[in-house]
């Protein structure tokens, strides 16, 4: 019995710039903007009858002449044509009595060369040379205007998006987010801020969100969640709400903000759509208190200044792997080696189960640093020890530089995902020996 075979799909051509599949009829690559019209199209497999030229007609060296066939793509065609060999008539004689001289045979057989196309980057006049005020110029050709879709009108090059790489430093807190090396856009977002408690002491906030790629508009979800949580904390902390309760309420506010995006989705009957979704992790430093909160698999770590003291992970993932470990069905090594390890069981979004914000409160007994990050970083420094080893020794004094180094660590490791990290220095006077992070 012969087993049936699934017919293979016709392979689509790939972009020479990024090797993304290109749709038929595309002029530019949708991923990188490569000019696909510049890619030579292989000729159709159809024979061309050679024009026989005798030695008497073409001279004794006719057999040694170069092939004079040309391809005409006018009107979208790809028909092969023959030009007569030099010295043979290829244009009809002028009609008798027309008064027009007959076209010279030798000249008629030589095609006129096409005029050279000027490089728009060298033009001194015209619309490309003096774009209107506020118009963005292409970062590739430096001549074309950038269209509203983010592509150059001249060369088709995709322009860097504003969120491809973001950095912010605010006093003693800093954050860096990068698109990574494999994704076409950055679906992470963050918010950092400072405020004052009722007694006038400072409170520092960092929120990091990771858009769920399998959902619709994940970049919008992460931005909405980060902004909503940050605004909620800036409103509640100065009113004297306990930081742990404030963090819980901020996550609920972030969840409502992401849920609202689902109501603004345009229905497309030809495309399966999931509600926008993201994960969230946040940290607050207020006096001698460190509070963290999260939903999903983004994490927070504690790294003490004294590297002889063990670091600690402050969050537990809402993921398949974490469930397997918590129930004792698999060891941590076995669970995270499974293909299902990173399947999340908790997230913010309209199609999520009932959101249960996780919060924790700690009182570190020594100075250190809080690392708040997405899995784009901790995939390359999973354990607390590995994360502490990746954090520069001077990161508490230079948080922006430390965040830049950690993003670079992820990119050097492969950059398979968007990478976002925020660093919050925590300064307390040493109060004796103890664990790097203690609970109230």
* Rg over CA atoms, the chain: 32
Classified as helix, coil or strand, 137 is strand
Question: What does the mean pLDDT of the chain come to?
Answer: 78
Cα 365 to Cα 230: distance, rounded to the nearest angstrom: 27
pLDDT number for residue 144: 83
pLDDT number for residue 312: 98
Residue 37 confidence (pLDDT) above 80? no
Condensed to tens digits (0 to 9), the pLDDT of residues 117-166 reads: 555 444 444 444 455 666 778 877 777 888 877 788 888 877 778 889 99
Classified as helix, coil or strand, 256 is helix
pLDDT number for residue 106: 46
Quickly tell me which residue has 């293979």 as its tokens.
8
Q: Mean pLDDT throughout 228-244?
A: 98
Condensed to tens digits (0 to 9), the pLDDT of residues 404-427 reads: 999 999 999 999 999 999 999 998
| Top mean-pLDDT range of 37-41, 384-388, 429-433 | 384-388
Condensed to tens digits (0 to 9), the pLDDT of residues 304-356 reads: 999 999 999 999 999 999 999 999 999 988 988 898 988 999 999 999 888 99
**Nearest 5 degrees, angle CA 227-CA 348-CA 291?**
65
């Amino acid at each position: 019995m012969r087993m049936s075979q699934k017919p293979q799909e016709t392979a689509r051509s790939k972009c020479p710039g990024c090797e993304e599949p290109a749709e038929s009829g595309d002029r530019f690559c949708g991923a990188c903007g490569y000019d696909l019209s510049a890619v030579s199209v292989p000729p159709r497999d159809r024979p061309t009858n050679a024009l026989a030229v005798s030695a008497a007609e073409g001279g004794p060296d006719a057999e040694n002449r170069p092939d004079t066939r040309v391809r005409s793509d006018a009107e979208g065609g790809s028909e092969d044509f023959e030009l007569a060999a030099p010295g043979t008539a290829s244009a009809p004689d002028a009609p008798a009595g027309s008064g027009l001289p007959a076209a010279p045979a030798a000249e008629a057989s030589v095609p006129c060369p096409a005029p050279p196309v000027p490089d728009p980057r060298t033009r001194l006049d015209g619309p490309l040379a003096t774009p209107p005020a506020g118009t963005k110029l292409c970062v590739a050709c430096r001549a074309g205007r950038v269209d509203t879709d983010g592509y150059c009108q001249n060369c088709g090059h995709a322009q860097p998006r504003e969120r491809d790489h973001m950095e912010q430093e605010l006093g003693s807190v800093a954050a860096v987010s990068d698109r990574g090396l494999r994704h076409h856009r950055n679906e992470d977002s963050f918010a950092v801020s400072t405020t004052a408690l009722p007694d006038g002491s400072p409170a520092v906030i960092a929120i990091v969100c990771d858009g769920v790629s399998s959902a619709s508009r994940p970049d919008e979800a992460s931005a909405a969640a980060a902004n909503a949580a940050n605004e909620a904390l800036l409103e509640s902390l100065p009113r004297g709400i306990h930081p742990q309760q404030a963090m819980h309420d901020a996550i609920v506010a972030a969840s409502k903000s992401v849920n609202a995006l689902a109501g603004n989705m345009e229905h497309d009957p030809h495309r399966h759509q999931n509600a926008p979704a993201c994960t969230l992790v946040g940290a607050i430093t207020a006096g001698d208190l460190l509070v963290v909160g999260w939903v999903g698999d983004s994490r927070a770590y504690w790294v003490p200044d004294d590297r002889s003291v063990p670091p600690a992970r402050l969050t537990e993932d809402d993921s398949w792997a974490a469930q397997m470990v918590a129930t004792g069905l698999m060891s941590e090594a076995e669970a995270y080696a499974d293909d299902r390890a990173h399947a999340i069981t908790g997230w913010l979004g309209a199609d999520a189960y009932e959101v249960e914000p996780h919060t924790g409160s700690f009182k570190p007994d020594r100075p250190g640093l809080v690392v708040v990050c997405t899995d784009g970083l901790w995939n390359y420094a999973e354990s607390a020890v590995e994360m502490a080893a990746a954090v520069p020794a001077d990161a508490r004094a230079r948080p922006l530089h430390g965040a830049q180094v950690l993003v670079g660590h992820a990119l050097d490791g492969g950059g398979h995902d968007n990478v976002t990290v925020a660093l919050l220095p925590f300064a307390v006077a040493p109060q004796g020996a103890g664990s790097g992070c203690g609970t109230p």
